[in-house]
Amino acid sequence: MRLSVAHVRGVTIGLAALAVALIGTLPASGSGDTPDGLVSPLLQAAMDHPLDLGLAADEPLTVWVYFRDKGVAKSGLDAAVRRAEEKLSPRTLARRRRAMAPDRPVVDGRDLPVASAYLGAVEEVGGRLRHTSRWLNAASFRLRATDVARVSTLPMVERVDLVRRFRNPLTPKMQPASRLASDGVDKAAQWTLDYGLNLSPLQQVQVPAVHEMGVTGRGIVVGMLDTGFRTTHEALAGVTVLDAYDFVGNDSIVGYQAGDATSAINHGTMTLSTLAGYMPGRLISPAYGVSVLLARTEDVSQEVPAEEDNWVAGLEWAEARGADIISSSLGYIDWYTFADLDGNTAVTTIAADLAAGRGLVVVNSAGNNRVSTNSLIAPADADSVITVGAVDLSGTYTSFSSPGPTADGRIKPDVMALGLGNPVANPTDDHGYGFVNGTSFSCPLTAGVAALMLSRVPGLTPLQVLEALRETASQAGAPDNNYGWGVVDALAAVTYFGPMFQTSPLGDTDDTFGPYPVTAVVTDRVGVDPASVVLNYRVNEGSWNALAMSPTGNSDEFGAAIPGQGLGSTIEYSVTATGTNGFTTTWPAYGTDLPRRFQVTTIVNLPVSVVPDLVIPMDDPAGVSSVITLSGAQSGIVVDVSVDVHITHPDIGELTLLLTSPSGTEVTLHLRTDAGTVDLVGNYPQSLTVDGPGSLSWFHDETSIGPWTLTAIDALPGSNGVIDSWGLNFVLKDFVSAGGRAPAAMAVLHPNSPNPFNPKTRIAFDLAVACRTQLSIFDLRGMVVRRLLGEVLDAGPHSVVWDGRDGSGREVGSGVYLYLLETPFEIRERKMLLVR
């Protein structure tokens, strides 16, 4: 590419003057007047025999016009590059700096805009501009065949080619699921989140284990290139949309508009929910913490073919706005041959590789047209694109998943994920769900895993993400063109780069003397730099302090101690370490942005018990319940709780035992296990194991006050049992006794009422002194739903009503939410349940 003014017959003239001078001097029409090599053979065929390519005889053609240079004189190049840099977002520049070689400029001639004078010259000839591509130095136009020769003769034009396309089949048929379909799906006892319909798909690729690490995709921006999107669905209403653009209609509306095909929003809605959906008990997707850029690049109506210039425009748009990842469940194959899928020919392939060279991770579907070999679509052939095929839940490739190789013999796809029976948001029902098939859905599932990887280690390059996915997949040692490197393993991929931590979080304490020892086992597959292991802590939101952690003498274990703090102190802390390959990670996953926290506060042990002597009816699904009610004099926040049970029964394999808190949290202590065993006697968790769903940790941070209910169910015929006795052993903080609340508490956050609630609930709190106070609503991802107040309040009681809406006024979906009270002295947090 030459960055200079154009030269015609040895005479240098200005670009604008050149464009004007050329108009009216070109041949009128005819392929015989077209300069050899400037018009591609395919475009020539489209002009000569349009019917053979499925085009109407008088149909304007969609063509690429490639230009010889950017129309910038050498003396003005530096200034032009600076102007181009100013148009890129700070996120884009930061991503490029991380990914590109230190001696390579992050902005260069490819980032300069296409010369406006060149565009104007083509328009003067009769072209109707569609999109421009900075990276390709090209623009797409609608142009009649009679005008192609005139355009090809313009001296700034390097060549003219036909825009390839793909005539989409109908949007994948969705098998609807009842709104309550997931009620029959047991929540896995080992996972904190209730994945609903998506439990098996995510367990197949080991995503829940990553979520247990606290990694959610937070801080990552994903660009979705697809059809339209319905973001009002309950599983998508909480997704942060940073920007949106419709490259089909050329406006900023990516939802349904009058005149759109009825299916215009279907495919995009479903792929977005596969990547970022979040509705506990219904659908939780891998990267529910990401933010998104939504680009409508395709018209899915059967009559309208999707064209590659929309895709290229959407890609460059998302890259310039700071995307970290592109998820593209699309491809282009019409008028390409297998020989063109060599990683260097197709326009989308070239653009995708250019994006990857700028640090953008591009994930694309392999295609849904399986034959024995060679059925990929572009840009799935790109060497820097993560190409994803589809398997079923058994891990076998599906009947439609396109295999490789590429034309130049490279193995594709790269990895596999579920593409058969994927649960998705129903694009026609904001509370509905369904099941679909296609590599369209294995792609965003894998893009979600890539987002988890970057969320934990933000400095990874696209090729490092590709390496980690490949090297940790199910058949990494024997890749082939059916499976690539195999089924994705998110846990192994996410932990492939950067140290891992094993540590026990510190709990609340009444020890004001300290110190508070923090130990962590820190490992990395390439080794850890011992000098890099650091404990960061702060007290009452003050300045952060860094303490070097030293080896303890135990294998890979490091330790340091936080000094003792006064009663009422809130201590936040995190651990940071760097591997010998230079990758730094933190525990918890987001370090000082979302640190661990404990308080120095009044701690009370409170045992309570009851002897109900209740008969457990047999063959009764309702069972029988016994209640222990804690009064206001026993009120506190649960730090820990254990459960004593003494139940007489001839076969506890017939029993289900549930414990429900005053806040409505239900944990299954015993779920028809240990068949043939007589009597259920012991303590959870000391001598008995909680079967789940749920764990006793679910009760942490809830209030103790109110009814605690033990329910025993024997739904089988046989013999009756008896609840002889049971009890709860609480460890409480912020304890209220007959003498009143501990004076260290400067703020008291009460349970919301009602709880569960719909649509409103009242949140009450007391302040010991006048101070600046902030009350916020968070979802379980740690994402802010709404700020209810932030101002200086007087000492005394206060209350605020939350109407179940987010900061934009939209109703939020059913689920568990956190409300957080922050003052200069402390932070208080409670849970509440919205049931719509």
**In sequence order, what DSSP letters do the residues of 591-605 get, joined into one string?**
GGGS-EEEEB--EEE
CA 254 – CA 155 distance, rounded (Å) = 38
Percent residues over pLDDT 70 in the chain: 91
What are the beta bridge partners of residue 409?
Answer: none
Report residue 762: phi and psi, to 5°: -105, 130
CB-based contact 204:489 (threshold 8 Å):
no
CB-based contact 469:415 (threshold 8 Å):
yes
Distance separating the N- and C-terminal Cα atoms of the chain: 60
Q: What is the pLDDT of residues 433-470, one digit of tens each?
A: 999 999 999 999 999 999 999 999 998 999 999 999 99
CB-based contact 644:611 (threshold 8 Å):
no
Separation of CA 321 from chain center? 17
Separation of CA 722 from chain center? 48
> What's the whole-model pTM score?
0.82
Structure tokens, 439: 């590599």
CA 167 – CA 332 distance, rounded (Å) = 9
CA 426 – CA 432 distance, rounded (Å) = 5
Instruction: Look at residue 9 and tell me whether its pLDDT is greater than 70.
Output: no
- What's at 328, amino acid-wise? S
CA 188 – CA 195 distance, rounded (Å) = 8
Contact partners, residue 27, CB within 8 Å, separation at least 6: 33, 149, 150, 153
What is the structure's pLDDT at 700? 86
Structure tokens, 349: 């392939």
- In the chain, count H helices and then E strands: 14, 47
Contact partners, residue 79, CB within 8 Å, separation at least 6: none
Separation of CA 651 from chain center? 45
Q: Which of 173, 167, 277, 263 is nearest to 217 (CA)?
A: 277
pLDDT confidence bin for 10, thresholds 50/70/90: very low
Q: Taking the CB of residue 383, how many other CB atoms lie within 10 A of it?
A: 18
Instruction: Look at residue 12 and tell me whether its pLDDT is greater than 90.
Output: no
CA 140 – CA 128 distance, rounded (Å) = 8
CB-based contact 71:1 (threshold 8 Å):
no
Q: Is the peptide bond before 717 cis (omega within 30 degrees of 0)?
A: no
What is the structure's pLDDT at 304? 61
Separation of CA 783 from chain center? 12
CA-to-CA separations, 435 to 242, 256, 415, 602, in angstroms, rounded: 28, 22, 22, 51
What is the structure's pLDDT at 55? 85
Residue for token pair 């001696």: 103
Instruction: Look at residue 518 and tell me whether its pLDDT is greater than 60.
Output: yes
CA-to-CA separations, 487 to 392, 422, 494, in angstroms, rounded: 10, 15, 14
| Choice among 82-96, 299-313, 419-433, 800-814 with the minimum mean pLDDT | 299-313
Report residue 471: phi and psi, to 5°: -70, -15
Section 228-238 average pLDDT: 92
What is the structure's pLDDT at 659? 97
Section 663-670 average pLDDT: 90
| Choice among 34-38, 685-689, 778-782 with the minimum mean pLDDT | 34-38
pLDDT confidence bin for 14, thresholds 50/70/90: very low
What are the beta bridge partners of residue 138?
Answer: 66, 133
Q: How would you class 228 by CB atoms within 10 Å of its CB: exposed for 0-12, middle for 13-18, buried for 19 or more?
A: buried
Question: Which residue did the predictor score with more confidence, 113 or 171?
Answer: 113
- Map residue 524 onto helix, strand or coil: coil
CB-based contact 490:449 (threshold 8 Å):
yes
| Packing angle, helices 15-22 and 116-125, rounded to 10 | 10
Instruction: Look at residue 11 and tell me whether its pLDDT is greater than 50.
Output: no
What is the structure's pLDDT at 735? 62
Residue for token pair 């923090």: 518
Report residue 541: phi and psi, to 5°: 60, 30
CB-based contact 326:361 (threshold 8 Å):
yes
Mean pLDDT computed over every residue of the chain: 88
pLDDT confidence bin for 176, thresholds 50/70/90: confident
Report residue 531: phi and psi, to 5°: -70, -10
Q: Taking the CB of residue 607, how many other CB atoms lie within 10 A of it?
A: 10
Q: What is the pLDDT of residues 369-402, one digit of tens each?
A: 888 777 899 999 999 999 999 999 999 999 999 9
CB-based contact 566:742 (threshold 8 Å):
no
pLDDT confidence bin for 181, thresholds 50/70/90: very low
Q: What is the pLDDT of residues 310-334, one digit of tens each?
A: 999 999 999 999 999 999 998 888 8
